[in-house]
Amino acid sequence: MNLALLERRPGRTAGPKPEVPHRAALGPNGVAAAVACLFAVVYALVSVTRHRRMLSAAFDLGIFEQAVSAYAQGRLPVVELKGPGYNLLGDHFHPVLALLAPAYRLAPGPVTLLLAQAVLMALACWPLTRWACRTAGHRAGLLIGLAFGSSWGMVSAVAFDFHEIAFAVPLLAFAVEALAARRWRAAVLWSLPLVLVKEDLGLTVGAVGGYLLWRGDRPAVRWGGLALLVLGPAATALETLVLLPMANTHGVFDYWNQVPGTEGSTGFSPFFLFWPPLKWVLLFMLAAPVAFVAVRSPLVLLALPTLGWRLLGANQHYWEPSYHYSAVLMPVLFGALIDRLGREGGWRWARARRLVLAWVAAFAVVGAVAYPLRDLVLPGGWTPNAHVRTAHRLMERVPDGVTVAASNRLSPLLVSRATVSLACQGGPESAAPPQWVVIDRTDPTVQSPCPEARTLERLAAYRAAGYLTVAEEDGITVLRRP
C-alpha cells in the first residue's frame, strides 16, 4: 500500500466530502420547451383526428380556410361560406391571419391551419412553464405547465376547428410573464399586436395599460400605461365603429345586437351580468383550474375585459365553458396563479401551496377526462366510422375547381380545391347557381348555420331544377348541374 496516499495534506481536514447541490437535468427553459413541444403534438393530434372524423365544419374551419386561401393568392379575404362576395374583415377584425398565407401556399388544406393553431397555442406553455419553474421549483413548474396545457379552455379551443385567437394566446402568455417580471417594455411589445387579432382585444391592451399605470415603478412606465389605457380601447372603437362597417356587406358591425342596451337587443340590467345560472358555472370553471387563488393576483385585471363582454353578451355560447372563447383567459389565470405562488411566504403558506398544487393537478386530470383530450385514448378517437369513410369517398366524385353548395360538415373536405358555399344559401334560381351540390342529411348541426328544413327545401329545389344525382348513399346526396 502506498502510505503517501493516506497522508493528510497540509490545510486539509478529515471528514466527508461536501455535498454537491442537486441540479435538475433541464433548466427552466428546457422544461418549458419540453412542455411546449409535448402540447404541440397533443393539440395537433386532437384537432387533426377530429377533422378526419368529420367533426370540423364550414363554421368555422371552412370560413378561415377560405380567408387564408384568399390571402395566399394576394386577395382580400372574401368568404363565400358567409355569403356571396362576403369580406371576412367585415365580420371580425383579424388581419393577423395573413401571416398564415405563406404556409398555406406551400401546403394548401385545412390541416395547415390546424397545425399552425396547435403550434401557436402550445407556444403559450413556454413562458408560463418557465416562469413557474423559476418561481415554485421544477416539479411545481412542470405540474403547472401540464395543467395549463391540458386546461379545458385550451383544449376546447383546439378541438373546435380553427380561430384567430390562436395568435392571442401566446401573446398574452408572454405579456403576463413580462408584467410579473417588471419588464415593462417587453409587456407593451407583446400586448400591442393583440389589436390585430380581434377587435375586442384592444380592451385587453387597455387593461395592460391600467396595470402599468397601477404597478409601474417609474413615471415613464406610468405614462406608457396611460398611453395603452387610451390607445387600446381607441383601437377597439376604430375597428368596431369604422373599419368593420366599411368592410361589412351591410355597412354595420354585425354583433351590436348581442350587446344589451343597443338597438335590437335586450335592455341592460346589472342583474343580467350574473344571470342565468350558467354564468356562475362559467365563473366556477374559470377559477377552479387555478385553485381559486389566482383571483388574489393583480394580474387578473387583464381577464376583466373579455369576461365582461362575455357575461354581458346575449349569445348563450359566450356563457358556456366550451368552444374557443375561454382560451385567451387561460394564460392570464395561470399567470395569476404563478404570481400568487411567488408572492406568499411562511410555513403556513408552504403547506397551503402543496394543497393548491394538489388541487391544480386533480382538476387537470378531471378536465382531461371530461374534455376532448380523452379522445386520444379511446379507440373511436382515431378511426373514422363507416359514414365518414363514405363521405370522403363520395367527395372524390367532385372535381377540382368547381363551385359547390355543401352542408356544414362536408364543406371542410372541399374548400381547399373548390369554391364552396353553404347548401342553404342561394339555390338553382340564383345568378350563379353551383355546379355541384353535396348534402349530408345526417349532419348533426341542424340549427346553425343551416336549419335542417331549409337545407332539405334547397335539396328539393335543386332536384326540381334538373340537377342530376351522381351518388346517394348513407344519407349523403351528390348532385351535378346538367
Average pLDDT, 10 consecutive residues per value, the chain (482 residues): 40 43 71 98 97 94 98 96 95 97 97 98 98 94 97 96 98 97 96 98 98 93 96 97 94 83 56 83 96 92 95 89 95 96 69 91 93 88 93 97 96 96 91 95 86 92 96 96 92
Q: Grid cell 366524385 — which residue? A: 397
| Nearest alpha-carbon partner for 169 in 326, 380, 356 | 326
| Nearest alpha-carbon partner for 171 in 332, 412, 323 | 332
| Nearest alpha-carbon partner for 295 in 329, 324, 261, 262 | 329
Question: How many other C-beta atoms are found inside a 10 Å radius of the C-beta of residue 5?
Answer: 6
AA identity, residue 332: V
Rounded to whole angstroms, the Cα distance separating 333 from 299 reads 8
| Nearest alpha-carbon partner for 174 in 129, 215, 143 | 129
pLDDT at 378: 87
Record the cell numbers describing residue 157, joined without a space: 379551443
CB 355 within 8 A of CB 197: no
* b/e burial code for range 195-218 (CB count within 10 A of at least 16 → b): bbbbbbbbbbbbbbbbbbbebbee
Task: Name the 3-class secondary structure at 473.
Answer: strand
Q: Which helix (H) or strand (E) holds 236?
A: helix 219-238
Record the cell numbers describing residue 119, joined without a space: 403550434
Quote the pTM value.
0.91
Give 6's DSSP letter. Answer: G
Task: Name the 3-class secondary structure at 431.
Answer: coil
| Nearest alpha-carbon partner for 477 in 383, 385, 398 | 398
The half-sphere exposure of 168 on its side-chain side, counting CA atoms within 13 A, is 32
- How far from 370 is each of 32, 258, 417, CA to CA, in Å? 25, 30, 36
Record the cell numbers describing residue 343, joined without a space: 408572492
For the four alpha carbons of 189, 192, 196 and 200, in that order, the dihedral sign comes to positive
Rounded to whole angstroms, the Cα distance separating 299 from 108 reads 39
Record the cell numbers describing residue 322, joined without a space: 366550451
Rounded to whole angstroms, the Cα distance separating 435 from 102 reads 30
Q: Which residues contact 308 (CB under 8 A, 6 or more apart)?
A: none
CB 452 within 8 A of CB 446: yes
Backbone angles phi, psi at 478, to 5 degrees: -120, 120
Rounded to whole angstroms, the Cα distance separating 162 from 415 reads 14
Rounded to whole angstroms, the Cα distance separating 188 from 193 reads 9
CB 118 within 8 A of CB 43: yes
